[in-house]
Chain A
Amino acid sequence: MTIDEAKFILCAYRPSGRDAQLPAFGDALRMAGADPALGAWFARSRAYDAAVAGKLRRVEPPAGLREAILAGARASGQQRGLGRGWAWASGVAAAAALAFVVFSMKTPARPDAGGAPLAAFAISDMTYARHGGRGEPAGALVAALEAKGARMPGPGQIDFDRLRDTGCRTLSFAGRDVIEVCFSRDGTLFHFYVARRDGPPGDSAERGASFISEAEGAAAAWSDRSYDYAVASKAGVDAIRRLL
């Protein structure tokens, strides 16, 4: 074995030393022990590898990813064969597959309604995530939401790009940006979520509100031609019904 061959093999040697007993490294390790120059190279190489590994392990996943995974998986149940963006796709969230109680308010929940995953995501986010951070457009949206008796805002009242770009809290759910603001109505705290519609071509049907209820709280989700919406609250379904 040449020096270069030994270096080549030792490149695969884990810096923790867990490979010390593996036969594949035996000759190269013995060579490093007998050759001071190779030994010094190996020591530097392991220090370098340990430094890189330590730095990389400090990279943290984005806030909300864990909750999005759990909410998406629960909402999708055992459905199969869905591609990228599955959690929002029109085929997701058949009511029978949901582990949640889903029931209709104004219109019956469609079996293929895309809103249920967003509602589940909203409950998870409301429960676990930190909230806060607003820009001026977000402040205007909150004011509109908090107006007594006001209906939930529609496309004409939401400038999605401006909200996102001016500091409104933005989450990622199934690869989509979701805007979130908190607001209070009649002393009850709510969380309002908006995401652009991204169904298959031609899928722009408006969807009436469907509700889910869990131990942590409740949420409603609905859609118009431009956006998917959700409202979540720990106060339960009745509080959300009064809001809508």
Chain B
Amino acid sequence: MTSEAFTQLVDAHYAPLYRFAMSLARNGPDAGDLVQQTFFIWATKGHGIRELSKAKSWLFTTLYREFLRGRRRDARSTSLEDLPPGENEPVAQDADRVSRIDSAAVMSALQSVEEPFRAPLTLFYLEEMSYQEIADALDVPIGTVMSRLSRGKAQLRAAFVSADTPGAKVLPFPGAGGERAS
């Protein structure tokens, strides 16, 4: 791959990859590392992919795998089977509530969703991936994607409600502004 083609690849995908990484890592520096690491792997391995149409899926899959690889095992993590079913009833004011708050707060609410649900939810919202594309990117069955989307949306909705509750606040995530000082 030529330097020019690599630059075009970075320009096309680094921003959405960063948003995906932000939702997973929940802080700017780690998200930046994940994005850089993903492109580094592309530079050393991904250049073998001839079809650039598959580059996007490859990049998201690789970033997610890198995140999982680097994540510490949490012994207290909850088994998915133990979680309550998703609540599919959107409150009438949900869309209005979201439109009133800024992007950083929405990202912060997304980051509060448990990780197994957060990854498919992020790909659904940010990349508008279909359930099939999400299943391919995360290497999980289609039924699991649908289940995680349903439960993830319920958790996200709960986070917005919590943010509106007096005494509760969705805090902006660190590094949302890019450079931390200027």
Chain A positions near chain B (C-beta within 8 angstroms): 4, 7-9, 11-12, 14-16, 18-19, 22, 24, 41, 44-45, 47-53, 55-66, 68-70, 72-74, 76, 78-82, 84-87, 99, 130, 132-133, 164, 167-172, 174-175
Contact = CB atoms under 8 A, between A and B. Distances in A.
B179 A12 contact: no
A87 B36 CA distance: 9
Given A51-B99, A57-B19, A59-B19, A8 B125 contact: no
A69 B35 contact: yes
B128 to A, nearest CB: 5
A52 B98 contact: yes
Given A56-B125, A60-B15, A65 B181 contact: no
B182 interface: yes
17 contacts: A15-B128, A44-B94, A48-B157, A51-B95, A52-B106, A55-B106, A56-B103, A56-B106, A61-B18, A61-B35, A61-B178, A62-B178, A65-B14, A65-B36, A169-B179, A175-B32, A175-B36
Interface in B81-135: 86, 88-90, 92, 94-95, 98-99, 101-104, 106-107, 110, 122, 124-126, 128, 130-131
Contacts of B15: 60-61
A170 B95 contact: no
* Of A9, A41, A52, most B-chain CB atoms within 10 Å: A52
A16 B130 CA distance: 11
Contacts of B39: 69, 72-73
B149 interface: yes
B44 A63 contact: no
Given A44-B94, A60-B15, A64-B179, 8 more contacts: A12-B146, A48-B157, A51-B94, A59-B22, A59-B176, A60-B178, A62-B179, A80-B45
Contact of B86 (A11, A14, A81, A86): A11
Q: Is the interface of B mostly helix, strand, loop or mixed?
A: helix
Given A66-B11, A169-B179, A4 B124 contact: no
B171 interface: no
Contacts of B157: 48
A72 B28 contact: no
Nearest to A163: B181
